Amino acid sequence: MALSLGFHIVFAEIGIAMPLLMVLAEWRWRRSGDPVYLQLARRWAKGTAILFAVGAVSGTVLSFELGLLWPSFMQLAGPVIGIPFALEGFAFFTEAIFLGVYLYGWERVSPRAHLLAGLIVALSGAASALFVVMVNAWMNTPAGITIEAGRVTAVDPIAGMLNPSAFQQVVHMLLAAYASTGLAVAGIHAAVLLKRRDALFHRHALMLALTIAIPCALLQPISGDMSARAVARWQPAKLAAMESLPDTRRGAPLHVGWIEIPRALSLLAFRDADAQVTGLSAFPAGDRPPVAPVFVAFQVMVIAGALMALVCAWAGAVVARGRQIADRPRLLAALTVLTPAGFVATEAGWTVTEVGRQPWVIGGILRTADAVTPMPGLAIPMAVFALVYVGLAAVVASAIASLVRETA
């Protein structure tokens, strides 16, 4: 399941953000008449179609795995998560339908209808993420469900969808998708511009990608702060693992890499530098998440996110002064190096979310050990899925590289 999620989440992020980029390119073409924007919209639409197809395949695998690998989880959680998953299905089919209209409707529908089709694709992709993340947020902070004697006696699906972590996680995930994809696209075109500064196609592409990446990367630390405060309130064991805090203490420090900032954790988590932060020793040994992977993943996420924000702030300052980013080789090099940074941060953040919730699959209600299937022999399908994912990744990398070479 972790392998499938780790593969799928990258394509899910791209599927959220790429439609917005292609719509922005078409909108700029229709307003300016610049044929470069038309070429850009068509190329990004092709890339979106390729990545959407792979995301659909990996998402389908996940839906099978939910039923096959987690029978007890589905039995208990089904009444709550059924509605958001159904809504996600509607959003997915809407996205697929209108992506077809967009790809094949350039000369068959009116300009306004074509642009609207692209906008619907972009909104549907965001809606799919919203509903899926609501389910994950519910697993972290379950609400809308009453359990008596191990049986579900009352269910409020709306309360479940609007659980205490939902807003923070949805905002954080959507910003991550736009920042990660925008920066990745910008990095690809920045790499070409390091060799060919006069490439107008890549200059336009770089600026459009940064139009999304800059504001989202700068807002991401704010949403991260919101998420951390929610974790401090509702998942104190996860917070203790994130900071590798063994004992409860007041004025707890914050670790960023090898730097320890005194009392910063208490200040950020509770807006009080002397606030008490619960340590791991306050929880029974069987209820503590594994510290090492959570702590390391949290550090990777914070450092990658900070680097993204700093480089995007640099790029924003260059634009604000009326300068051309394409004429700044050091900035282009920094953007190139950070091409995968958003996806690295996302994988690390997802590790924090999932591993930090252990040993619970539904926080405080159902343990992972009690939810997973007892079926033996899972090493074989895992190996098969791994080979499928490696093959899909190779095909995608080859297809995208081919699209980039056509304009390089």
What residues are paired with 152 via a beta bridge?
147
pTM score: 0.91
Length of the chain: 408
For tokens 């949805």, name the residue.
170
Bond from prior residue into 359 cis (ω within 30 degrees of 0): yes
Which pLDDT does position 407 carry in this prediction?
A: 62
User: Cα(29)–Cα(27) distance, rounded to whole angstroms?
Assistant: 5
In a structure prediction context, what are the per-residue pLDDT tens digits for the chain, which is 408 residues long? 888 888 888 888 988 999 999 999 999 999 988 899 999 899 888 888 888 877 777 788 888 888 888 888 888 888 888 899 899 989 999 999 999 999 999 888 999 999 999 999 999 999 999 999 999 999 999 988 888 776 777 888 899 899 999 999 999 999 999 999 999 999 999 988 888 877 788 889 999 999 999 999 999 999 988 998 999 999 999 999 999 899 999 988 888 877 888 888 898 888 888 889 999 999 998 899 999 999 999 999 999 999 999 999 999 999 999 888 888 899 999 999 999 999 999 999 999 999 999 999 998 888 999 988 887 777 887 888 788 888 877 877 777 777 766 665
pLDDT at 308: 95
DSSP 208: H
pLDDT of residue 408: 55
As a whole number of angstroms, the distance between CA 383 and CA 376 comes to 14
Which residue, chain included where needed, has tokens 């022999």?
Answer: 377
Q: Which long-range contacts (CB under 8 A, 24 or more apart) does 400-408 make?
A: 400/47, 400/50, 400/51, 403/43, 403/46, 403/47, 404/188, 404/192, 406/43, 407/39, 407/43, 407/192, 407/199, 407/201, 407/202, 408/192, 408/195, 408/196, 408/199
Give the whole-angstrom CA distance, residue 196 versus residue 202.
Answer: 9
**Do 62 and 4 form a contact (C-beta atoms < 8 A)?**
yes
